[in-house]
């Protein structure tokens, strides 16, 4: 019996990255065209304030969370298959960070800033903060397992990108904290927030950086395939060379 199998899961992080970037950019174009937002520079969250761009925003957040969860689990399986005899704690921590980021995307997508300001802010912090932490932990574990030796340039690029994303996120956090200390309104919905344009610009750079990091995950995911196992106890995600291992040999024809 031949089991169904997708030869590679590389399309998943690529689809996630492209969908998230083009989806938010499309929502931005619609919002600016209809006069709902100023061209320079709205928060990404502002795309969820008015219809029809709010529908695009919610749909993109939902699909991004689903594709993100698949990608994070795929990376978890890749590390597990690359180090079958090692401890799984670090790998589970990385998976947890990634899934929390996906939860943050959903929260930010469905709790809009004008109606649920603090809930939306928690979602945004989870989405960006956990994504940054995921990138850092991913680089660390990649280095620990010596997987970086197969592609040193890609590893160094990821480290530089993760460091840049973390720096941007820390700058955003410090601006909000500093604003709160000096008794200014720090909410995203406040158009008088003194660093609104700076924070919005850094937020878009953060999004672009995360999308680029996601594209680099294609390298690991292309080594994984999806198959329908014989039983639920077997792995659904396996190395690509094992996708068609479970093929029964054809029966010999009965001689007459």
Residue 75 to residue 69: CA distance in whole angstroms: 10
Specify if 95 maps to a domain. yes
Residue 32 to residue 42: CA distance in whole angstroms: 10
Q: Angle 117-144/152-181 helices, nearest 10 degrees? A: 150
pLDDT over threshold 60, residue 256: no
pLDDT of residue 126: 94
Specify if 199 maps to a domain. yes
Specify if 250 maps to a domain. no
pLDDT over threshold 60, residue 246: no
pLDDT over threshold 70, residue 2: no
pLDDT of residue 148: 84
Could you read off the pLDDT of 94-135 as tens digits, one per residue? 999 999 999 999 999 888 877 787 898 899 999 999 999 999
pLDDT band at 75 (very low <50, low <70, confident <90, very high): very high
- For 213-222, letters b (16+ CB in 10 Å) and e give bbebbbbbbb
pLDDT band at 71 (very low <50, low <70, confident <90, very high): very high
Specify if 211 maps to a domain. yes
Give pTM, 2 decimals: 0.84
Could you read off the pLDDT of 81-93 as tens digits, one per residue? 888 877 788 999 9
Specify if 155 maps to a domain. yes
Specify if 207 maps to a domain. yes
pLDDT band at 255 (very low <50, low <70, confident <90, very high): very low
**C-beta separation of 68 from 102 below 8 A:** yes
Specify if 252 maps to a domain. no
Domain count across the chain: 1
Specify if 248 maps to a domain. no
> How does DSSP assign 47-81, residue by residue?
GGSSTTHHHHHHHHHHHHHHHHHHHHHHHHHHHHH
Could you read off the pLDDT of 172-209 as tens digits, one per residue? 888 877 766 665 555 555 555 667 778 888 999 999 99
Could you read off the pLDDT of 4-55 as tens digits, one per residue? 445 678 889 999 999 999 999 999 999 999 988 888 888 888 888 888 999 9
Residue 244 to residue 227: CA distance in whole angstroms: 9
Range of the domain at 111: 5-242
């Amino acid at each position: 019996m031949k089991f169904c199998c997708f030869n590679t899961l590389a399309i998943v992080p690529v689809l996630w990255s492209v969908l998230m970037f083009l989806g938010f950019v499309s929502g931005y174009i619609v919002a600016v065209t209809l006069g709902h937002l100023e061209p320079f520079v709205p928060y990404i969250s502002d795309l969820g304030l008015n219809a029809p761009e709010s529908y695009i925003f919610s749909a993109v957040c939902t699909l991004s969370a689903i594709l993100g969860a698949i990608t994070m689990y795929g990376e978890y399986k890749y590390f597990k298959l690359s180090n079958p005899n090692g401890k799984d704690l670090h790998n589970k921590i990385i998976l947890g960070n990634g899934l929390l980021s996906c939860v943050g995307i959903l929260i930010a997508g469905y709790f809009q800033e004008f109606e649920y300001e603090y809930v939306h802010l928690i979602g945004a912090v989870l989405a960006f903060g956990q994504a940054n932490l995921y990138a850092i932990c991913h680089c660390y574990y990649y280095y620990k397992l010596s997987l970086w030796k197969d592609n040193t340039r890609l590893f160094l690029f990821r480290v530089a990108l993760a460091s840049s994303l973390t720096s941007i996120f820390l700058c955003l956090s410090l601006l909000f904290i500093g604003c709160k200390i000096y008794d200014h309104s720090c909410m995203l919905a406040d158009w008088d927030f003194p660093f609104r344009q700076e924070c919005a610009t850094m937020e878009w750079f953060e999004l672009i950086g995360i999308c680029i990091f996601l594209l680099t995950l294609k390298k690991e995911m292309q080594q994984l395939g999806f198959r329908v196992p014989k039983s639920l106890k077997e792995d659904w995600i396996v190395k690509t060379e094992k996708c068609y291992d479970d093929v029964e040999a054809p029966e010999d024809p009965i001689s007459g």
